[in-house]
Amino acid sequence: MHPLAWWLWALGLGTAASRTTNPLLLALLIAVAGYVVATHRTDAPWARSYTAFVKLGLAVLVIRLAFAVVLGSPIPGTHTLLMLPEVPLPDWAQGIRLGGRVTAEGVLFALYDGLRLAALLICVGAANALANPARLLKSLPGALYEAGVAVVVAMTFAPHLVADVQRLRAARRLRGRPDRGIRGLLQVGLPVLEGALERSVALAATMDSRGYGRTAEVPTRVRRTTAALTLGGLLGVCAGTYGVLTAAGGTYGLPVLLAGLAAALAGLRLGGRRSPRTHYRPDPWGVRASLVGASGAAVAVLLILCEAYDSAALHPTVVPLTAPDLPLWPAAALLVGLLPSFAVPGPPAPATTAQVPTPATPIAPTTATAPTVTAPSKEDA
């Protein structure tokens, strides 16, 4: 599976999560992402990042609730949960309070808002757990070749640095020297830095011998067009993303975002002419990759259409205090995100050690006893 397909799928789910505050829909979206990760995650080191993103999402949710309780909420409410001692603040801090009345409406609004941010983080964690980062960087366009190589080098050297630190600390402990504190850190840091510099010099020599950094001759007008398209496209992507994520920019956000993406892709395409290079075993973009990317895009588009058609179902009110309902069509749209779990085969099962049959105890071969030869006696003579 092409790694970019997983990122397109995850970004589609993240876009859908940003369009709703309904906790039932957000919980369903988290369940969809978790199911796909559970069925297609491998044993690779980067696949373990999903648990870290889930924990980060829970931490964000708890912090958002804590801020709502301690600093108050802009949502007015009539159902008081508890009264905290309020700290008086000066006049220049108008609009901010510490403590005071905590209402159920304010806590519920903070819960909805924090759950949406947690869902976004979990979608990003799903992409990190499913997509191979090295293969993703290899798929970068030629204009981003230098940046991709820098990231690959950093990702390759980081495990070596950790291994060097662990090795040096173990050696110091065996010699009875301290490996913690400022003194231990200084005495361990110098050998680690020396090893990193040696590897950097060796890598620079190998990259120079293989022609790294050589660029092709490109006309001036092509360079200027590339810069204009790339810069204008990135500005269009930023403006379009802001319009998509806000309610006021719903009319212009999507067209500006698409135009910015088209301009940025055209600029990257032209910029790739400066870096003539070949791909070793490029990842193919097949039918399954198209289905995975299309499923994420379909979820995002369907949620945007549902929000335009019935915004109240995707944004339940907290004033007055009411229980949220699960709308049928948005829930069915989120279930489209389960398509990768059926269209893409799961990872192969880990190889198990075959049971080797215990050999039977061999029977010791019978050895023939050699006849004993005795010296002849006088009678025999």
pLDDT in tens, 45-89: 777 788 888 999 999 999 999 888 888 777 777 888 888 787 777
Q: Which residue has the higher pLDDT, 107 or 44?
A: 107
pLDDT tens sequence across 229-275: 888 888 888 888 777 766 665 677 778 888 888 888 888 777 766 66
DSSP 50-79: HHHHHHHHHHHHHHHHHHHHHH--SS--S-
Cβ neighbours for 164, distance < 8 A, ≥ 6 positions apart: 191, 192, 195, 196
CA atoms of 65 and 59, how far apart (whole Å): 10
So what's the pLDDT on residue 119?
93
Grade residue 194 by pLDDT with cuts at 50, 70 and 90: confident
Grade residue 335 by pLDDT with cuts at 50, 70 and 90: very high
Percent of the chain past pLDDT 90, that is, above it, reads 17
So what's the pLDDT on residue 40?
87
Grade residue 295 by pLDDT with cuts at 50, 70 and 90: very high
So what's the pLDDT on residue 239?
84
Which of 42-46, 126-130, 144-148, 241-245: highest mean pLDDT? Answer: 126-130
> Per-residue pLDDT for 199 more than 80?
no
Grade residue 276 by pLDDT with cuts at 50, 70 and 90: low
Grade residue 103 by pLDDT with cuts at 50, 70 and 90: confident
Q: What angle separates helix 253-271 from helix 220-245, to the nearest 10 degrees?
A: 150
- Cis? peptide before 3, omega within 30° of 0: no
> Per-residue pLDDT for 330 more than 70?
yes
**Pairing relation of β-strands 80-87 and 98-103?**
antiparallel
3-state DSSP call for residue 84? strand
> Per-residue pLDDT for 367 more than 60?
no
Tokens of 378: 């006088």
Closest CA to 260 of 244, 282, 276: 244
